Amino acid sequence: MAQPDYILYAQHGWADIDRGIGTLARQIASPNARVVVPNLGFVNTWIRIAPLIDQVEAIALQTQADHPETPIRVIGHSMGGLIWLEVLARHPEWWPLVESLVLVGSPVGGADLSRMVDPFAWGVGIAKDLGQNRRSLAERIAAEVPTLVIAGDFYRGGDGIVPLECTKFHRASYVAISGISHHRLKQHSAVANVIQQFWQSSAHLCVPSPIGSYCDRLIRQLQAVPGMTDAHYQGFDKSELWAHLPDGLMLQTWCSRLNVHHVYLSSPSGDCLFAGFVGWPHTVALYDTLWHLRKSWSPSAPSSAQVEAIAIDFPLDATIP
């Protein structure tokens, strides 16, 4: 059996089959690469992620047995990227072989649409799996494996399905491409070009701000609020100032008509740097964090009693917008 230049695994995501991501993979692979594009089945992607991870792992195990020393490259679109994070977590012995891990429109921080469908994490189909926050896992892998995140900036801070913010994590190169929707990312020529550039050299690509920056620590503090979900920028233009913070940053809040509370972090120039929301059970926890942030830098902070008053009783039959 001839030895390939490398093995390129390409994985489709939720509500999809292998055709689109397979086209992209074969377009950018070298002539002597072995391209592996598992088709998990459209219907299966609606049920649970665990059997899909098992299926991809089994295929990879057989492929690696055939080529145990061959370099590995991985491209995952949407849920396909999450599947490969889980597969690599099971096989750290493969990490030294992985030349490139590319996540395209993958909701690493947890998909906001999934948390809207399953706000209490009761386990509604695939929603619970896609709503899981895998940032710590992704960062652990990216510390050892060259990793690229590609996101689509199509509409209100996202690709129409996945918010920009939930694709981001530290230690990965990050590129946002304007005007490309979630569905088109998996086979767009601009995505192919960025991946090929990354394979040649990652030095020119944009890496997120240093982990130690104040802005980053603040975003992480907001993301650590129980129930926090990265969101699109919808509502940012309606939000009201909550607090002025160092470096000209501003915290802003907005409450939807169904009493779902959103928080935004904006730059001195008014650009949205972070958007998130919490479900009804976590409203008090959100405002407790916001209260402490505001109290740290403003003498006019609300009292804890006012924070408690913000949380109201929500109808159980309501849905999150």
- Residue 149 DSSP symbol: E
Determine the pLDDT at residue 258: 83
pLDDT band at 217 (very low <50, low <70, confident <90, very high): confident
Residue 57's pLDDT band (cuts 50, 70, 90): very high
Residues 135-159 as b/e (b if ≥16 CB within 10 A, e otherwise) read bebbbbbbeebbbbbbbbebebbbb
pLDDT surpassing 50 at residue 294: yes
pLDDT at 313: 40
Top-confidence residue, 218 or 203: 218
Q: Strands of 272-278's sheet, edge to edge? A: 229-230, 272-278, 261-266, 250-255, 240-244
Spatial CA neighbour of 255 closest among 225, 223, 226, 287: 287
Which pLDDT score, from 0 to 100, does residue 232 have?
85
Range of lowest pLDDT (29-33, 52-56, 289-293) = 289-293
First CA to last CA distance, the chain: 54
- Confidence bin at 307 (pLDDT 50/70/90): very low
Question: Could you read off the pLDDT of 80-92 as tens digits, one per residue?
Answer: 999 999 999 999 9
The alpha carbon of 317 is separated from its chain's Cα centroid by a whole number of angstroms, namely 29
Residue 54 has pLDDT above 60, yes or no: yes
If we measure between CA atoms, which residue out of 252, 234, 233, 256 comes closest to residue 242? 252
What pLDDT shows up at residue 119?
Answer: 57
Strand partners for 147 = 101
- What band does 120 get if pLDDT is binned at 50, 70 and 90? low
Residue 79 identity (one-letter amino acid): M
Q: Delineate the domains of the chain, giving CATH numbers in brackets.
A: 7-200 (3.40.50.1820), 214-310 (no CATH)
More confident residue, 203 or 240: 240
Distance CA 43, CA 49 (A): 12
pLDDT of residue 301: 44
Q: Could you tell me what percent of the chain has a pLDDT over 90?
A: 61
Q: What element of type H or E holds 122?
A: none
pLDDT number for residue 316? 34
Mean pLDDT within 146-152: 95
Beta bridge partners of 277: 229, 262
Query: Could you identify the residue written with the tokens 């009693």?
Result: 305
Give burial (CB, 10 Å; 0-12/13-18/19+) of 1: exposed
The 10s digit of each residue's pLDDT in 124-143 is: 667 788 888 899 999 999 99
Which amino acid appears at position 115 of this protein? R
Map residue 173 onto helix, strand or coil: strand
Say if residues 277 and 225 touch (Cβ distance below 8 Å).
Answer: no
Question: Of all residues in the chain, what percent carry a pLDDT higher than 70?
Answer: 84
**Mean pLDDT, rounded, for 40-44:** 94
